[in-house]
Structure 1
Amino acid sequence: MRTERVLAAAGLLLALGLVGATLVAAGVLPPAFLGSPPADDDYDRTAVVVSDENGTELGRVEARIADTRQKRYTGLSNTSSLPEDEGMLFVHDDPQSLTYVMRGMDFGIDIVFVAENGTVTGIEHAPEPPEGEDGNDYRYTGEGKYVLEVNYDWTTRHGVTVGDRVHAEGVGLERSE
């Protein structure tokens, strides 16, 4: 009898946890429902290098790696500014159609969509949302397994275009020679 109650309680907790995670992922509940947002030092980091078809380096940033649902949801929304040589690299489990928003953003960014093989598939220039407007209303879509977020117009200043290559150690974007 006691074992049945323990199993029933465990099953209920698991079901509630799954429902909560689903509601957070769908944007119905804030991520705080599952715990506090990740702190800056909770992220691994990697150097991200973008090069052209000839292998010439176009630009480089030190990026925080957002490789969990919570880190991807939080993104740069808890960041007040982004130094020119920094960014965030989002790592998804599989290649897919992706939509990014400017939730809680105080500055503009470039959103670079990257295929599983490291090829840039799309670039969106996302300016800072106007004061008093919800960044969730601004949606940027693309295809890929990875998304690199850098300062607004970084890709323009560095000459990055669709078809260029992104390399980063430790996340599946290692440079192949």
Structure 2
Amino acid sequence: MKKISVLAAALLAFASFAQEPQMNLPRVKLRAGMHVIDAQVAASPEQRMTGLMHRKEMPQHEGMLFVFEYAAQQCFWMKDTLLPLSIAFVAEDGTIVNVDEMKPQTLDSHCSHKPVRYVLEMNKGWFAKKGVKAGQKLTGAPFQAK
């Protein structure tokens, strides 16, 4: 019985930890034309899995850049994400492949139209308000030729 209590306590501790938003990820400055984005970088599988879940707010000039090891079709959903978000699927050279709008706390799948290495999430409507569309390039350290 004691083993079950210890296991239950561990699961509760993990569940409460999992409810905390990621706030201290590394950051990178990106540009979309004249617009500067302060993006947190989610590079590990755990960081990408948590993403912007459990956040209640995000400043308008901030976002999260998801970095994958190689280009592939990427799909995102918003199960435990409280904020409505816009998502840009971005090729290795910084070219935006497609942009989509995502409703909070849904299981709707939002996928890249072709393989991408990066995904950028911003507050809902950010790309439309700034006139940033598919075919345009983001600039910044992640997109520079290697």
Q: TM-score range by the shorter chain?
A: 0.7 to 0.9
Matched, 1:112 2:84: no
- The 8 Å contact of residues 32 and 137 in structure 2, kept in 1 or not, is answered as yes
Pairwise mapping of residues 113-152 of structure 1 onto structure 2 (< 5 A)?
A: 113-129=89-105, 135=106, 137-142=107-112, 143=114, 144-152=116-124
Q: Which residue of 1 is the match for residue 23 of structure 2?
A: 40
- The TM-score normalised by the length of structure 1 is 0.67
Indicate which of 79, 98, 114 corresponds to 1:103.
Answer: 79
Where in structure 1 do 4 or more consecutive aligned residues deviate above 3 Å? Answer: 35-39
3-state secondary structure, aligned to 2:49: helix
Residue 168 of structure 1, CA deviation = 2.4
> What is the alpha-carbon distance in structure 2 between the residues aligned to residue 160 and residue 76 of structure 1?
21
- In the alignment, residue 93 of structure 1 is paired with which amino acid? E
Residue 107 of structure 1, CA deviation = 1.7
Indicate which of 104, 113, 133 corresponds to 1:161.
Answer: 133
Percentage identity across paired residues of the two chains = 25
Please identify, of 105-114 and 67-76, the stretch whose mean Cα deviation from structure 2 is larger: 105-114
- The 8 Å contact of residues 114 and 148 in structure 1, kept in 2 or not, is answered as yes
Residue 138 of structure 1, CA deviation = 1.3
3-state secondary structure, aligned to 1:70: helix
Residue 154 of structure 1, CA deviation = 0.3
3-state secondary structure, aligned to 2:74: strand
> What is the alpha-carbon distance in structure 1 between the residues aligned to residue 77 and residue 139 of structure 2?
24
User: Pairwise CA RMSD of aligned residues?
Assistant: 2.2
Residue 106 of structure 1, CA deviation = 1.4
- In the alignment, residue 67 of structure 1 is paired with which amino acid? A
- The 8 Å contact of residues 21 and 53 in structure 2, kept in 1 or not, is answered as no
- The 8 Å contact of residues 38 and 70 in structure 1, kept in 2 or not, is answered as no
Q: What are structure 1's unaligned runs of at least 5 residues? A: 1-31, 52-56, 130-134
Q: 1:100 to 1:154 in 2, by over 3 A?
A: same
